[in-house]
Amino acid sequence: MGCDVAVAGGETATVAAVLGHWEAAFSLFRPESELSRVNRSPARVVAVSSLFAHALQVALDMAAETEGLVDPTLCGRWSEVAVSGWMLSRSPELALDLNGVVKALAVDEAAATVDGPGFVSVGGDLAVRGPVDVALPAGGAICVLAGGLATSGTASRGAHLVDTATGNASNSCWKQVTASGASCLDADVAAKAGFLLGECGPDWLEARGIPGRFVGEAGEIVENRAWHNATAAVPACT
Amino acid sequence: MKESSRIEGARRRARAAKVWLGALTALIFGVAFVGAKTHAPGHSKGKAQPLGAPSSFEHAVRRSALQSGQIAPPAQPPVASSTTS
């Protein structure tokens, strides 16, 4: 997936096979990927694989959850996309980009192949099986007891997160946003939404009980109450 | 001559009566049709509603889609890193 991959407690080959399967289906840079084929199709209704239908449904659910912040169309037209069974319906000129959820879904599936304690990390998106101590952006660390942890921002790949309201790269006041989720998917979507919301990000995550840690352009660190309470009151993991 | 003008007059009155009778029949039919459409049981009074859960319910369910994970202070040196994706 063009990212650093770290695996602990599981078979590296198995994890690589899972990640490769997802990349083969959803890469925008492979003309033979299913996503590229769908985006090339001039038909309004297209038959897709069950994996594609599942990922797209997740993406649409997350678009609804975030009120369009994490949008598979990147232009605010996610409500015009419908998937029923294996049939996808959308305007042919409407290109899809499922990168907002696919990497996290792949990490969650890869982590499910880990039998005992361990974790899978792809480009900093993390899913754990048992407690794992994780270094954070701009210094510091936490112990992830369960679920996932993800960071979104501009530090590594530049301004790649799109503000769907304008169609341009986001000019968020944050450099990096880290969020904890019940899965890597939840954490990743929460981190992206927190980043795109700018100053409203901490409160948005707080309202949903999601711990969030925000690193500003000058390096200042803001933790919402859920993050602060979780990392201050809960005893350290063993 | 006088006899034929009386017959013509009677025919005109008969034609006028037929026109009025037809118009009255159409009016009564129309009123009865509209009345049945709007009041009689079994007649659809509006757009059919889907039998699925209302959108407000689905929205409320989706609101809880994002769930928090479990985190705690670190106990050991980090073995993984959450960098920007």
Q: pLDDT by residue (tens digit) across A149-189?
A: 999 987 655 555 767 666 667 778 999 999 999 999 999 99
Whether residue B11 has pLDDT greater than 60: yes
Minimal Cβ distance to B78: which of A134, A189, A234: A134
SS in 3 state form for A22-86? HHHHHCCCCCCCHHHHHHHCCCCEEECCHHHHHHHHHHHHHHHHCCCCCCCCCCCCHHHCEEECC
Supply the pLDDT for residue A185.
Answer: 95
Q: Which residue has the higher pLDDT, A73 or B63?
A: A73
CB atoms within 10 A of CB A159: 13
Pairwise CB contact (< 8 Å): B66 & A134: no
Chain A residues in contact with B68 (beta carbon < 8 A): 147, 180-182, 186, 208-211, 226
Per the structure block, which two tokens stand in for A38? 């769908």
CATH, residue A74: 1.10.3980
Residue B47: inside a domain: no
Q: Residue B53: CB partners within 8 Å, gap ≥ 6?
A: none
Position A234 pLDDT exceeds 60: no
CA distance A69 to chain B (A): 14
- The total number of structural domains in chain B stands at 1
- Assigned domain for A132 exists: yes
| Number of folded domains that form chain A | 2
Q: Among A8-22, A36-50, A114-128, A145-159, where is mean pLDDT lowest?
A: A145-159
Is residue A132 domain-shared with residue A226, that is, in the same domain? yes
Output A206 or B60, whichever has higher pLDDT: A206
Distance between CA A135 and CA B80 in Å, rounded? 6
pLDDT value for A2: 64
Q: How far is B28 from chain A (nearest CA, A)?
A: 47
ipTM score: 0.85
Residue A236, CA distances (Å) to A36, A131, A144, B76 in order: 46, 10, 10, 9
Mutate to test the interface with A, among B56, B57, B68 (most CBs of A within 10 A): B68
Cα separation, A18 vs B22, in Å, equals 79
- At residue B60, does pLDDT exceed 90? no
The H-assigned helical ranges of B1-85 are 2-39, 55-62
- State chain A's mean pLDDT as an integer: 90
Domain final residue, candidates A100, A133, A164: A100
Domain membership flag for residue B20? yes
Q: How confident is the model at residue B66 (pLDDT cuts 50, 70, 90)?
A: confident
pLDDT value at residue A133: 95
Interface residue of A180, A185, A195, A197 to substitute, partner B, most B CBs within 10 Å: A180
User: Domain range for residue B3?
Assistant: 1-41
Does B82 contact A211 at a Cβ distance shorter than 8 Å?
no
Question: How do residues A75-115 score in pLDDT, each as one tens digit?
Answer: 889 999 999 988 999 999 999 999 889 999 999 999 999 98
Question: SS3 of A95, please?
Answer: coil
Interface test with A, best of B55, B59, B63, B83 (most A CBs within 10 A): B83
Q: Given an 8 Å threshold on Cβ–Cβ distance, is A126 in contact with B80?
A: yes
In CATH, what number is assigned to the domain containing residue A223?
3.10.520.10
3-state secondary structure of A220: coil
B10, pLDDT greater than 60: yes
In a shared domain, residues A90 and A135: no
Across the interface, of A150, A235, A238, the residue whose CB is closest to B82 is A150
Chain A environment of B65 (Cβ under 8 Å): 61-62, 65, 186
B42-64 average pLDDT score: 63
Cβ-Cβ contacts under 8 Å, A151 against chain B: 82-85
Confidence of residue B35 (pLDDT cuts 50, 70, 90): confident
Establish if A140 belongs to a structural domain. yes
> Is residue B35 a part of any domain in this protein?
yes
- Chain A contact for B44 (CB, 8 A cutoff): no
Residue span of the structural domain in which A75 resides? 9-100
Domain assignment present for A119: no
pLDDT of B63: 52
Is residue B54, in this structure, part of any structural domain at all?
no
pLDDT at B18 over 80: yes
Structure confidence by residue, pLDDT tens digits, A186-210: 999 999 999 999 999 999 999 999 9
A118-158 pLDDT, tens digit each: 999 998 799 999 999 999 999 999 999 999 999 998 765 55
What count of residues does chain A have? 238
Amino acid A126: pLDDT: 94
- In this predicted structure, the answer to whether residue A21 has a pLDDT above a threshold of 80 is yes
The reported pLDDT for the residue numbered A159 is 52
